[in-house]
Amino acid sequence: MDKQAMTDTLITAKASKGLSWETIGKDLDISPVWLASACLGMNSAPPDTAKAIADYLGLDSAVADALAEFPTKTWDQAVPTDPLIYRLYEVVGVYGDTLKQVIQEKFGDGIMSAIDFSMNVDKEENPKGDRVVITMNGKFLPYKSW
């Protein structure tokens, strides 16, 4: 089973059971953000975690095997048209240089890892409209001189 077929199978099973990433993650004691990313094919799951996800959703070992396979992380380079994803591109477009400047002032010349990384998505209730809180936590990787 390839990653796309795996994703289709996982999304269908999740929807048919009326489950959320939050519920599955809580029940399996794993991050719902990481779980969604793995199920969408952008991360590999350790074999025991892959089996637990497949078992939880009542899926066979082919899904678990595909979850455990290393992904090829590609995406369209064009700006996406989905409004939520587009807005994240907009955030990086507007604040990317600012974030780079602030991070490099605090840490030096380098980057934030997307490999040694975690992310949480939370909801902050607000009388003027609920707020989305995205917390990204990546290891700082300094550039080296030689």
The residues that are catalytic are 87, 90, 113
Q: How far is residue 2 CA from its own chain's centroid?
A: 19
d(CA 125, CA 71): 36
d(CA 81, CA 40): 18
Phi, psi (rounded to 5 degrees) for 18:
65, 35
Residue 42 CA neighbour count, 13 Å, CB half: 10
